[in-house]
Amino acid sequence: MNYSLLRQTIDLLEEYEQFEQPADILDFAYWLVGKYSTETKESISYPSQRKNSETTDSPLAIKNFRQETRFLEYVARIARYHEFYVRKALQDLDINTRLEFLFLQTVESSDLVKKTDLINIHLLEYTTGMDTIHRLIKKEFIKEVQSTEDKRVKLLAITERGKEVLEQTSKRILEENEMFFLAINNRWKKMTPLLEEIDSFHHKIYQNHNNKPFAEISNLMDSLKYLSQ
C-alpha cells in the first residue's frame, strides 16, 4: 500500500473539511480537481458542485424548516460563502485559508500563546488545530519558543516572515470583507449585536462544558433559559 499517498489524501481531506460540511466523496473529488487545476494554472472543465435536486432545491428546503433551524442554517451558509470568497482572495498568497490567517493573526496579537489556547480560541478540534500550527511552523511563519516561567512549556511566536505575510494577507481579507457586503443593504449591521450576544452565551457553555454529553448540556440550557426572560 502507498502510505505516503494515503497520508497526503488524509491531509487534503482535513483541509477540505475546514470549508465543506458535511464531507461528501463526490464533492471532495470536485474540490480536489479544482484545487490542483488552480495551482497548475490548467484549464479543466468540471462541475463546481454536484447538480442535483438536493443542491438546487436546498434554499427552498430551508424555508420549510422551523424558524430556529432556518436561522442557524442561514448563518452556516453565510459562513460558507465567506470561506469560499476568502479562498479565492488568498489563492496566490503563501497563506490560502482563513484558518491559517486567523491563527497567524492571533499569534501576532497575543505576542506569545500556548498551542492549546490558540486552538481553543477558535473552537477547533485538537487534531485540526495542531495540523494548522504545524503547517505555519513548517512555512516559518511562526516558531516555538521556550516559556520563561515554565521550561517544559513551549509557546508560539510570530516570525518576521510571518509578519510580512500577515500584512499581505490582511489587505486581501479586508478587500474580501468589503466585497462581501458591497451590494448588500447596511441592515446587516443591526444583526451584529445579536450575533455577539449569542456567541458570548454559547462560548461560555462550549469552553466549560464541551466534554459533557448532550443530555447534560440540554439540561443546563433548560436551567439557564430563565436568565434571558
Per-residue pLDDT for 28 more than 60? yes
Q: How confident is the model at residue 19 (pLDDT cuts 50, 70, 90)?
A: low
Q: How confident is the model at residue 58 (pLDDT cuts 50, 70, 90)?
A: low
Q: What is the pLDDT of residue 178?
A: 95
**Higher local confidence (pLDDT), 151 or 110:** 110
The CATH number of the structural domain formed by 65-184 is 1.10.10.10
CB-CB contact of 149 with 114 (8 Å): no
- pTM given for the model: 0.70
* Predicted confidence (pLDDT) per residue in 94-149, tens digit: 998 999 999 999 999 998 999 999 999 999 999 999 999 999 999 999 999 998 88
Per-residue pLDDT for 53 more than 50? no
Distance CA 189, CA 196 (A): 12
Q: What is the mean pLDDT of residues 38-65?
A: 54
C-alpha cell at 25: 466523496
Question: Could you tell me the residue ranges of all domains in the chain?
Answer: 1-47, 65-184, 187-229
